Amino acid sequence: MIIVISGPSGVGKGTVVAELLKKDAALVRAITCTTRQPRKDEKDGRDYYFLSEEKFFDLVKKKKLAEFAFVHGNYYGTPIESILQGKDKDVVLQIDTQGAKRIKSLFPEALLIFLLPPSIDALAKRLLKRGTETEEEREKRLERANKEIQERMFYDYIVLNDDLHRASEEIEKIIQYERVLRKKKTR
């Protein structure tokens, strides 16, 4: 199963997905590509494949990306290969709303989950606490957050990330339920 998790920058996608991966050995995270600069604690091939624009568009030209989008001033894209590793596992894609729509059109059975912040104010605080962007970049991300939140109705599930433990447990249950549903359908 392909599981897409979207939500505004700073809502906690990375943190929640890390929790899910710790607890569920049948899940694997798809590493995606970006032209953004790595943050201090990010590693190439672990967090993203960090690429120059030239290398990124080489992949686009060679049709190696299932989707790509321009987000917060940088390009991001999902390698087809990173989705296909999900043959025996369920693959989690942490991508934006444009990417989610594209993945749903390519793989209609994909499970789409939107992670919602308790408020824009809480989101701003989380971004500030993470401390990985300049004030200008944070503003850009917050500006986009409202637009992204408006896209939530497109998703199969909307999960409020008020408390990390509670939200991760809710997503775990959704995944377990969807696994059972999909098994029933293929019988």
Interface contacts to ligand ADP, rule CB under 6 A: 7, 9-15, 126, 129-130, 161, 163-164
The contacts of residue 160 (CB under 8 Å, 6+ apart) are 116, 118, 167
With CB cut-offs between 5 and 8 Å by kind, which of ligand ADP, ligand 5GP, none does residue 129 bind? ligand ADP
Nearest residue (beta carbon) to ligand 5GP: 99
> Closer CB to ligand ADP, residue 23 or residue 55?
23
> Closer CB to ligand ADP, residue 55 or residue 160?
160
Beta strands at 157-160 and 111-116: parallel, antiparallel or unpaired:
parallel
Complete DSSP assignment for 143-187? HHHHHHHHGGGGSSEEEE-SSHHHHHHHHHHHHHHHHHHHHHHH-
> Closer CB to ligand 5GP, residue 96 or residue 178?
96
| Shortest reach from residue 59's CB to ligand 5GP, in Å | 11
Query: What strands lie across the sheet with 111-116, from one edge to the other?
Result: 27-29, 90-94, 2-6, 111-116, 157-160
Which spans of this chain sit near ligand 5GP (rule: CB under 6 A)?
9, 13, 32, 36, 67, 69, 71-72, 76-78, 94-96, 98-99
With CB cut-offs between 5 and 8 Å by kind, which of ligand 5GP, ligand ADP, none does residue 117 bind? none
> Closer CB to ligand ADP, residue 29 or residue 126?
126
With CB cut-offs between 5 and 8 Å by kind, which of ligand ADP, ligand 5GP, none does residue 69 bind? ligand 5GP
The contacts of residue 74 (CB under 8 Å, 6+ apart) are 34, 35, 36
Q: Are 58 and 66 in contact (CB under 8 A)?
A: no
